[in-house]
Amino acid sequence: MKKIFTSIFRPAVLLALGLALTFGCQQINPLEGVELTVNNNVYKSPILIEFVDANPNSKTLPKDLTVTISGLGKDLVFTDLGGKDFKVAGNLLSVVLGQNANPTESAPVEFTVSVKGPNYVSTNYSVVVTDLESSTYKVPLTNLTALPDGVGAVSKTTLLALGETITVPATSSKPEVAKIAIAPGTQVKDENGLVINATNVSSTIVQYGTGTEEAANSLPNEGEGNVIKYKDGTTDFGTFLSAGFLDIEMTAGGKNVKSFSAPLDVTLSLNPNYEDPETEAPMNVGDQIPVWSYDKAKDEWTEEGVATIAKDANGNLIANFKVSHLSVWTVAKNYKGKTCGSKTIKIKVRSDVRYASSTFKAQITYSKSGKPKFSKSFSSFKVSNGSPYIIKVKRVPSGYTGRIVVTPVGSAPNTTTRGGTQTFKACNNAVVSIDIKVKEAPEPTTTDTESDAVKVNLDFTAACISKNISVKPTVWLKLVDDTNAEQLVNVVAGKAVIGMKKGVKYTLTATYNGIDFSGEVTINGNSATIVSSTGLNGSFPIDATTGEVNATIIYPLNNCQ
């Protein structure tokens, strides 16, 4: 699922890597002597991928991430400068489509982003581009040091001669239990099928339940199978509604384990609220549910067999199956050929706020026969009146309905709101409206309500000193305030309009070609100046007549290509 802002910018090809960071600290005018201003947009469908912690309570962002691009459309995907060396700046990845790309709903450009990083579970995310609009995606990553609700993890070292049953216990947010049995004397093998000479094996096992949104949306590609290989020899795509899944990684003798001399025995308990997604009936003893494995490197699902539902000694429903090789494993129903492709939802916001900052979230929930089945949240939903949004929904199962609800993120200071759309058919290209009312808290306040945010007119310029050229750039800009509330701002040909609050410190970060350029600003009195640490400078004077802020932000460039 993707969230698109209809006014998002495209990266300017003339921006170069050689950004002169020292200008941000010098009291000079980078535009002095510049004679020519140009605006050059070459590439198509700019895409910003934001990697976030799957735990919404986490105070940190993923970092030191590495990515690769694969899939059918990989040859059409480039960096902002037209290269193939994809880099993550902090937690942001910015890419574009090449000049030869012409994506449509009937002929989309599809590619897969594979991401990994220290203390995070590696995963894949599928991007489906159906138009030339700019778009943003949020990809949740499982932090092994701060697990989200509905997820459990265990790390163990096992003597192979003795074997062991490793248990991932239930938690308050995850009633499911997983047991993985390694038989005594099991030999472990590498990716070439060769036995690894080792006496013990180290395991990291992550179990995802089905009772929370954080866990359900952590399935690779959010449960969408781009390539699914069935036991009957056919290949298709589809959507998985999982009854729970495991991500198993093992090492031995300094090598990654891929397979075993004897398969592992896995017992996975089911969430008591899980229903058969096709019949909508609770699962019962004797029912069968397919077992699937996922190859992250190939982005392929394979049908491995079926598990017959039984009961354990405590009366809990369980699924037993064997694991012959390591990957992601799930027991899940799959909607083979029963999806309705990529659909567009256009959202119109009607509210009592003119220029709001990002302290609200939108959640889209899909239901069948009136029962909610799965949902997806967007944590940076802006509630300004007239704000346009487009959401692209990938391969929603047929027969579902959707509804979008807006609520404050956490305890947004001095604001209460709730707004929602009417239900709409998931397989239609829908146009929906959200009516939102933002009210002040009982205590009087002068600065912290959403309606106190002032209009800021941004004017971006990239100054190339050596060639007397200034570029009106198209870049991604992220604003983070002192409460960690975040805005992703769309700067198109050097222009954008945002909402900022007086007296609040914001960190501004422009992301281009895998590099972040940032500075801090607080609007006080009649003006403010960027305190730059990595390449931004500018001013934020307030117009005495309109009360609006006319901000000038400058990139001083050493070099232009």
pLDDT digits (tens, 9 = 90+) for 496-531: 888 888 888 998 888 766 677 788 998 887 788 888
Name the DSSP class of 128: E
How much is the pLDDT for 442? 39
How much is the pLDDT for 119? 93
3-class DSSP assignment, residue 74: helix
The whole-number average pLDDT for the span 114-121 is: 94
How much is the pLDDT for 132? 84
pLDDT digits (tens, 9 = 90+) for 171-226: 999 999 999 999 999 999 999 999 999 999 999 999 999 888 888 778 888 777 88
3-class DSSP assignment, residue 458: strand
Tokens found for residue 491: 């700067």
How much is the pLDDT for 479? 85
How much is the pLDDT for 452? 59
What's the Cα-to-Cα distance from 467 to each of 81, 491, 493, rounded to whole Å? 19, 24, 20
Of the candidate ranges 109-113, 446-450, 486-490, the one whose mean pLDDT is the lowest: 446-450
pTM: 0.75
Of the candidate ranges 344-358, 395-409, 457-471, 481-495, the one whose mean pLDDT is the lowest: 344-358
Is the pLDDT confidence value at 14 over 50? no
The whole-number average pLDDT for the span 339-358 is: 69
- Residue 304: pLDDT band (50, 70, 90) is very high
What's the Cα-to-Cα distance from 157 to each of 48, 198, 291, 507, rounded to whole Å? 39, 12, 26, 43
More confident residue, 288 or 27: 288
More confident residue, 554 or 251: 251
Contact 307, 321 (CB under 8 A): yes
Is the pLDDT confidence value at 293 over 90? yes
The whole-number average pLDDT for the span 78-85 is: 85
Q: Name, of 115-129, 419-433, 460-474, the range with top average pLDDT.
A: 115-129
Task: Report the mean per-residue pLDDT for the chain.
Answer: 79
- Residue 118: pLDDT band (50, 70, 90) is very high
- Residue 10: pLDDT band (50, 70, 90) is very low
How much is the pLDDT for 478? 83
How much is the pLDDT for 380? 64
Is the pLDDT confidence value at 286 over 70? yes
How much is the pLDDT for 309? 93
Of the candidate ranges 140-149, 174-183, 239-248, 474-483, the one whose mean pLDDT is the lowest: 474-483
Q: Are strands 360-368 and 255-256 parallel, antiparallel or unpaired?
A: unpaired
pLDDT digits (tens, 9 = 90+) for 533-556: 677 878 888 888 888 898 888 766
Measured distance CA(169)–CA(178) in Å, rounded: 7
More confident residue, 359 or 25: 359
The whole-number average pLDDT for the span 253-261 is: 95
What's the Cα-to-Cα distance from 489 to each of 353, 384, 395, rounded to whole Å? 18, 13, 28
Closest CA to 408 of 445, 444, 454, 357: 357
The whole-number average pLDDT for the span 431-460 is: 62
Measured distance CA(363)–CA(352) in Å, rounded: 20
What's the Cα-to-Cα distance from 266 to each of 58, 103, 199, 245, 375, rounded to whole Å? 31, 43, 22, 11, 28
Dump the DSSP string for 182-193.
E-TT--EE-TTS
How much is the pLDDT for 8? 28
How much is the pLDDT for 536? 80
Measured distance CA(464)–CA(559) in Å, rounded: 6
- Residue 102: pLDDT band (50, 70, 90) is very high
